[in-house]
Structure 1
Amino acid sequence: MNDDVFDGVDEDAWDDGFDCDRLEEELREAAAILDPVPAELCRIAVEAYALHDLDARIAELTFDSLVDAIPVRGAMDPPRMLTFRTGELTVDVEVTSEGLLGQVLPPQAARIEVLNGPQPTAPLTTDDLGRFACDAPPAGPFALRLRTGGEVVVTEWLRA
């Protein structure tokens, strides 16, 4: 680098006249214009944060028919089968265009919320065999929140 360019320049003047905060603000504005964060991504991030349960156990996805099942010839629009597990608790869910059907195993009383936005759907309750149903299919990313006694379990988030 040619030091002759900087001859006669007071180095203290660089520190006094340069506004780092203003530069950062201008760079943020340029990034927002030239490479904005997609609105859908912002919405999903806000919804996921709003629905965060710090004390909940996470039920891990152990089976997804979109990934793990063998396709059946001639089957048109088969239901999506999901299995979530945490400890001794298993939640089996069938996702169709008409809604959700599921079962909590071992069978037990549970209140279930379908999370797919900032406001959860009306709570579902299990019957004596641990079964539950929802008439509205989830749109976009969704998860289930189960309240069984004093315990809260949340499934992994999936795209419907």
Structure 2
Amino acid sequence: MDGTDGADGVRDGMDDDLDAGLLEEELRQAAAALDPLPPALLQIAVDAYVLHRLDAEVAELTFDSLVDAVPVRGTGDPPRMLTFSAGEVTVDVEVTAHGLMGQLMPPQPARIEVLGGPRPGSSLTADDMGRFTAAPPSGPFALRLRTAGDVIETEWLRT
């Protein structure tokens, strides 16, 4: 096969994508074998990541309906219910295909970021009753809440 598509000599785009994917994988394997990541550098990276969260209190996942709830017969796609606790603050979150809905207890206003990877998270505001909504996360996510005096970050979860 010469990689052309017909008499005009135009390359097939699918072959290009496949070739690029194979080349990338071969380069990753070669780099891992010839120039592996030093363990000390990996530890420095992990330590640096931990340091960026020093100002945040980690909210513990205390309830997850995927694990803790009794299945109910007849429900097609029930929402996932999550409860996080950090000190006196509790965050209840409902995750559906349509989005996130949540509430802070005790009710209070807060700025909330929905974290979803290396890019800055989407920012939203909880009202005076502590309620907030957001678009559905497309992958693993965490929440960072900034209340009057605290910064709270939830554990990372897969949707």
CA RMSD, aligned part only?
Answer: 2.8
Q: Is the 8 A contact 1:57 1:86 kept in 2?
A: yes
Rounded to whole Å, the distance in 2 between the matches of 1:83 and 1:32 is 40
Aligned residue number for residue 111 of structure 1: 111
Q: Is the 8 A contact 1:101 1:133 kept in 2?
A: yes
Number of residue-to-residue matches in the alignment = 122
Aligned residue number for residue 154 of structure 1: 153
TM-fit CA distance, 1:99 = 0.6
SS of the residue corresponding to residue 118 of structure 2 reads coil
Aligned residue number for residue 90 of structure 2: 90
Q: Is the 8 A contact 2:63 2:84 kept in 1?
A: yes
Deviations 1:56-84 (A, max 9, x none): 00000000000000111010110000000
TM-score (norm 1): 0.68
Aligned residue number for residue 68 of structure 1: 68
Q: Decide whether aligned partners of structure 1 residues 50 and 96 sit closer, same or farther in structure 2, where only a CA change above 3 A counts.
A: farther
TM-fit CA distance, 1:129 = 1.0
TM-fit CA distance, 1:127 = 1.2
1:138 aligns with 2:137: yes
TM-fit CA distance, 1:53 = 1.7
Determine what percentage of the aligned residue pairs are the same residue.
Answer: 72
SS of the residue corresponding to residue 122 of structure 2 reads coil
TM-score (norm 2): 0.68
Q: Which structure would you say has the larger Rg? A: 1
Q: Is the 8 A contact 2:115 2:122 kept in 1?
A: no
Q: Which amino acid aligns with 1:69?
A: A
SS of the residue corresponding to residue 101 of structure 1 reads strand
Aligned residue number for residue 11 of structure 2: none
Q: Is the 8 A contact 1:51 1:118 kept in 2?
A: no
- Structure 1 residue runs without a partner (length 5+): 1-28, 37-44
Structure 1 stretch displaced more, 91-100 or 148-157: 148-157
